[in-house]
Amino acid sequence: MKRLFAIALTALCTLANAQVPDSALAPLIRTVAADEQTVRNFYDLRWSSARMQALDALAERYLDQIEAMSLEGMDVVARADAVMLRFHLEDLAASVALDRARRAEMLELLPYLELVERLEQDRALMSPLDLPALAREISAIPGQIERLRARIVKPTDEVRADSIVVSPTLALRTASASADTLEKLERWARHYRNFMPGFAWWLDTPIDKSRSAIREYENHLRREMAQQKGNDDDPLVGQPEGRERLMQSLRREMIAYTPEELIEIGQRELAWCQQELRAAAREMGCGDDFHAAIEEVKTRHAAPGEQARLVTEQAAFAIDLVDELVTVPELCAKLWRTQMIPTRDQRIWPFAAYNNNHVMVSFATDEMDTDAKLMSMRGNNEHFTRIVVPHELIPGHHLQGFMADRIRTYRKLFSTPFFVEGWALYWEFELWDRGYARGPEDRVGMLFWRSHRAARIIVSLKFHLGEMTPEEMIEFLIEQVGHERASATSEVRRYINGMYSPLYQVAYMIGGLQLRALKRELVDGGHMGLRAYNDALLEHNAIPVEMIRAQMLGLELGLDYEPMWRFDDPAANP
C-alpha cells in the first residue's frame, strides 16, 4: 500500500504540474557541493598533495556527520538524498586514493612539482621570499630535466639499471601535469614580479630558462614517448582503469552488476540488433547482409551545406510526435539552435552532440579532403541523423537538461550519465516501439545506433579490463556495427583519452534499460500512465536510476543501503 501511495502521489504532482519541493537535506548537500568546489578552486594545482589532503579531510568530516545522522521521520526523498550523499563522499575519498597512486607514479618525472606546490602554499600564507635561494632552486630545473631525460626509456627500449620506463599513457599524463604545474609557476611569478623589488632581477632569467626546458620536456613526452604529433594517424593512447576501479565506479553509480555481467548484456543486445538489421536488409533487397544495407543507407545524405536544415526539420517533427508522451515546456521547445562542429573537433565528435541549447552537428567541411568529406557525409546520412536529433534535443538531452536546471538542482552533485544518457536511449527505445521508422532504411539507421550503444558496453569495459586494445576496439566497431574507419577511430579516441569516466560509454544503453525496466514495473503494471511516468522521472534530476526507483516505490532506505536492483532480472528484486 505504501508503494502504491508513493506512486499515486508522484503521478498527481506531475499531472498537476506542481512545484517539486526540495528535501530536508538540500541545504546540507548544497553546502557539501560548495565546500568541495571551494577546495578545488583554492588548491587548483591538480596533482598537489595539499589538494588531496583537503579533499580527504572534507570527505571524512561530512561522512562523520552523516553517520551521526538519524533518518527517523524523514520521507523517502530525504532518505535517498542521505544515501546518495554518503555514496558521493565515499567515492570522493576513493578517487583521492587513486589520484595519490597516480601522483606517486609521476613524481620522479616531475622534479619541479613539489617546488611549485610549496611556492603556491607560501603565497597563500604570504610567507617572506628568499629571492637568491628561490633563484637557485628554479635555476636547477633545466639540469634536473636534462638528467631525467637521459634515464627515461620506452617499454620497448633497452633498460639500464637507472632507467625509468615510461609508458605512452604515463607520458601523456605526466605531460599534462607538467603543463598545469608550469602554468601555476608562471602565475606565481606574475603575482610578485611587478610589485616586489628585486623579484625580476633575481628570477626572470631562471624562470625563462626553466620555462623553455619544461616545454621542451613536455613536447618530448608527447611526441617522442607517446607518439602524439597531432595527426589523425597518431596511435591511440589511454589508461585502462582495471577491474577494481570499475567495481568502485559501478557502486558509485548504484549498478548492482559486475563488468562481466554488463558485457553479457551488451552482447545480448548487439545480437538482437543484428537480427533486426538482417530483417531490414532483406526488405531492402540485400539478403541477410546487414553491412550492405548500412552501406546503402549511408549513400542517402544531405547535400553539402544542407545538414543543419535537415536537423531542424527532423527536430520539429520529433517535438510534435512526443507532445502527448511527456511535458515539453514552451521555452524548451523553442529556444535551441544548431551549431556546426569545426573540422578538427570532428576527430572527437564525428556525429552530433548537445551543449547549452545547441545541437552540435558534424558534416563535411571545405577544409576536408575528398575522402574525409565523403566519409563525414556517409556517417551523418539522413537515416542515421533522424534518430540522433531526438536523442540530442527533444525528448532527449535538451529536455532533460532544461528540467534538471529547474527541479531539485541541489542534486547535480549526484548527476550520473546513467540517467543523462540513459534518458536519451530510453526514448530511442520508445520511438522504435511507436513506429518512428518510416521504412527499413530508417530502421537500419535506428538499429545502427542501438547496436553502437551495445558495442560501447563491450569495447569500453574490455579495454578497461585489459582485454581489448584500441586497435581491436576500432575493428570491432567497424565489423560488428558498420562504422566508417575514421568514425570508429574518433569514437575510440574519445572513449580512452580520459575525457570521460570509465563507465560513461556503458551508461547509454544500461541507463536506458534501467528506465525501461522501471516503466515495466510502474506503467505496464498499471500503477501510472506513461506521460505521468515520464514527467515524474524528470522531477528527480539526473541521479542514479536505482534511487529514482526507490523513491517512486516508497522503499525503506537506511544509511547502510547498498545497490541491489537487478533491473535485467525482475524476479531477483525485492
pLDDT of residue 12 exceeding 60:
no
Residues 422 and 306 in one domain: yes
Strands 358-361 and 337-340 come out as parallel
Task: Please compute the mean of the pLDDT values over residues 377-391 and round it to a whole number.
Answer: 91
Q: Are 454 and 508 in contact (CB under 8 A)?
A: no
Residues 63 and 172 in one domain: no
Handedness of CA 264, 267, 273, 274 (dihedral sign): negative
Helix (H) or strand (E) holding 215: helix 199-219
Picking from 137, 56, 148, 41, the residue whose alpha carbon sits closest to that of residue 93 is 56
Residues 506 and 374 in one domain: yes
Residues 384 and 444 in one domain: yes
pTM, to two decimals: 0.90
Residues 355 and 414 in one domain: yes
Across all residues in the chain, what is the average pLDDT? 92
Reported as a pLDDT band with limits 50, 70 and 90, residue 573 is: low
Q: Dihedrals φ, ψ of 167, to 5°?
A: -75, 160
Residues 190 and 60 in one domain: no
Query: How far is Cα 146 from Cα 159, in angstroms, rounded to an integer?
Result: 18
Residues 330 and 251 in one domain: yes
Please report where in the chains the cell 604545474 appears, as a residue.
181
Task: Please compute the mean of the pLDDT values over residues 155-179 and round it to a whole number.
Answer: 94
Task: Please compute the mean of the pLDDT values over residues 267-277 and round it to a whole number.
Answer: 97
Task: Please compute the mean of the pLDDT values over residues 145-155 and round it to a whole number.
Answer: 95
**In whole angstroms, how far apart are CA 321 and each of 308, 324, 345, 391?**
20, 8, 32, 13
User: Crossing angle for the helix pair 113-125 and 76-107, nearest 10 degrees?
Assistant: 120
Query: How far is Cα 369 from Cα 37, in angstroms, rounded to an integer?
Result: 44
Of 90, 106, 122, which residue constitutes the final position of a domain? 106
| pLDDT tens-digit readout, 195-205 | 899 999 999 99
Of the candidate ranges 24-38, 195-209, 255-269, 304-318, the one whose mean pLDDT is the lowest: 304-318
Query: How far is Cα 176 from Cα 205, in angstroms, rounded to an integer?
Result: 24
Task: Please compute the mean of the pLDDT values over residues 227-245 and round it to a whole number.
Answer: 86
pLDDT at 7: 54
Of the candidate ranges 56-60, 136-140, 315-319, 531-535, the one whose mean pLDDT is the lowest: 315-319
Query: 3-state DSSP call for residue 241?
Result: coil
pLDDT of residue 14 exceeding 60:
no
Residue 476 placed within a domain: yes
Q: Are 117 and 42 in contact (CB under 8 A)?
A: no
Quick one: what percent of the chain has pLDDT higher than 70? 96
Strand order in the sheet with 352-355: 337-340, 358-361, 352-355
pLDDT at 574: 54
What total number of domains does the chain contain?
Answer: 3
Residue 230 placed within a domain: no
Residues 359 and 508 in one domain: yes
Reported as a pLDDT band with limits 50, 70 and 90, residue 272 is: very high
pLDDT top residue among 18 and 441: 441
Residues 63 and 157 in one domain: no
Task: Provide DSSP, 442-473.
Answer: HHHHHHHHHHHHHHHHHHHHHHHTTS--HHHH
pLDDT of residue 2 exceeding 60:
no
pLDDT at 16: 38
pLDDT at 379: 85
Residues 416 and 532 in one domain: yes
- Residue at 188: amino acid letter: W
pLDDT of residue 10 exceeding 80:
no
| pLDDT tens-digit readout, 414-438 | 999 999 999 999 999 999 999 999 9
Which domain does 176 fall in, by range?
Answer: 108-225
Residues 84 and 187 in one domain: no
Sequence-distant (≥ 6) Cβ neighbours of residue 108 within 8 angstroms: 148, 164
Residue 573 placed within a domain: no
Sequence-distant (≥ 6) Cβ neighbours of residue 272 within 8 angstroms: none
Cα-to-chain-centroid distance, residue 452:
17
Task: Please compute the mean of the pLDDT values over residues 162-182 and round it to a whole number.
Answer: 95
Cis peptide before 168 (omega within 30 of 0): no
Residue 565 placed within a domain: no
Residue 339 placed within a domain: yes
For residue 505 the three cell numbers come to 560509454
Residue 425 placed within a domain: yes
pLDDT at 6: 54
Residues 404 and 293 in one domain: yes
Residue 237 placed within a domain: no
Residue 568 placed within a domain: no
